[in-house]
Amino acid sequence: MSITNAMTIDVEDYFQVSAFEDVIDRSEWENIPSRIPENIEKILLLLERHNTRATFFTLGWIAVSFPQVIADIVAAGHEIACHGWSHVRLSDLTPEEFLADISSSRKILQDVSGQEILGYRAPSFSVTSETLWAYEKLREAGYLYSSSIFPIKHDLYGIPRAPRKPFVVEQTGIHEIPLTTVRMFGRNYPFSGGGWFRLMPYSLFRYGLKKVNNEEGMPGVFYIHPWELDPQQPRQLNLSTKTTFRHYLNLEKTNHRLECLLQDFHWDTVQSVFLGQKKYPTLAISELSGS
Ligand SMILES: [Zn+2]
């Protein structure tokens, strides 16, 4: 029996990504035509074709603006989880502002979905060694798990020293499910989705995830955004070269690659794959802080 991995969708629109926050102010969001309803519909059909359930980490802003989209996701049997209210990174919030953000998001997502919201993913994986206070606040707000740490070295996020496998954060009971990496040549490489999935050949990605499944017996966590399956999205012009490359690379190939991934591996929600009966090691915050 092959291992079941966790399929996750970060539900934000193409103009709500952190990379655009200097060129599109949040106050403009409601005036920009959304691509969310049609892109989510496309994803729901894709998942249905492959008989797959997924976890949708969703912005509170999206739940308020598109309650029918949330209802459609729930009706198809998927898990709703939280991705913050309006995609503000933890480094831009005080702990008290963060608590308000994740509490109000959790409430609206619960009201609209009718599900108990247990999961959280930080915008742009912004749980880093500077924002570890997040776990205490997640506990206060009623969450059970987070999938927010990328155990890699990266210019924008990551805790390279963090465990690659799930763990429980001491004194909070919060389960952290790190994004999937492959350990090679003494360092961790991201094999979890997003821009990396669009950058590397699919055969290499499949090799990495199989290695994690077969050699370590560990389920992987895959993530993708609705806008990554939408090559027709409006183009934003005044971006840096690096941001333009990262956002638009291989968008026209992602649909097919995702089809292959759904075909080649087994998938389910984060809750089904990682929570329930399983016991994970407990880790003190001090073991994650520092470089
Ligand atoms: Zn995001």
What was the pLDDT predicted at 276?
83
- Beta strands 187-190 and 181-184 are antiparallel
> How many Å lie between the centroid of ligand 1 and the Cα of residue 83?
7
pLDDT (tens digit per residue) in 123-174: 999 999 999 999 999 999 999 999 999 998 877 788 888 999 999 999 999 9
> How many Å lie between the centroid of ligand 1 and the Cα of residue 18?
7
> How many Å lie between the centroid of ligand 1 and the Cα of residue 207?
26
pLDDT (tens digit per residue) in 31-82: 989 999 999 999 999 999 999 999 999 999 999 999 999 999 999 999 999 9
Does pLDDT of 291 surpass 80?
no
> How many Å lie between the centroid of ligand 1 and the Cα of residue 15?
11
> How many Å lie between the centroid of ligand 1 and the Cα of residue 11?
7
> How many Å lie between the centroid of ligand 1 and the Cα of residue 277?
29
What was the pLDDT predicted at 157?
82
Give the domain range for residue 274: 4-287
> How many Å lie between the centroid of ligand 1 and the Cα of residue 202?
22
> How many Å lie between the centroid of ligand 1 and the Cα of residue 5?
20
pLDDT, mean of residues 106-123: 98
User: Mind giving me the DSSP string for 34-84?
Assistant: P-HHHHHHHHHHHHHHTT---EEEE-HHHHHH-HHHHHHHHHTTPEEEE--
Those residues whose beta carbon sits under 5 angstroms from the ion ligand 1 are: 10, 12, 123
* Domain at 79, CATH number: 3.20.20.370
> How many Å lie between the centroid of ligand 1 and the Cα of residue 19?
10
- Report yes or no: 242 and 142 within 8 Å, Cβ to Cβ: no
Note the helical H segments in 66-152.
Answer: 67-75, 95-113, 134-140
> How many Å lie between the centroid of ligand 1 and the Cα of residue 1?
33
> How many Å lie between the centroid of ligand 1 and the Cα of residue 257?
20
Q: State the pTM of this model.
A: 0.95
> How many Å lie between the centroid of ligand 1 and the Cα of residue 12?
6
Burial (0-12, 13-18, 19+ Cβ within 10 Å), 176: buried
Domain count, the chain: 1
> How many Å lie between the centroid of ligand 1 and the Cα of residue 214?
29
> How many Å lie between the centroid of ligand 1 and the Cα of residue 10?
6
> How many Å lie between the centroid of ligand 1 and the Cα of residue 138?
17
- Report yes or no: 152 and 160 within 8 Å, Cβ to Cβ: yes
> How many Å lie between the centroid of ligand 1 and the Cα of residue 260?
23
> How many Å lie between the centroid of ligand 1 and the Cα of residue 87?
6
> How many Å lie between the centroid of ligand 1 and the Cα of residue 168?
23
Does pLDDT of 25 surpass 70?
yes
What was the pLDDT predicted at 290?
64
Closest CA to 86 of 5, 155, 17: 17
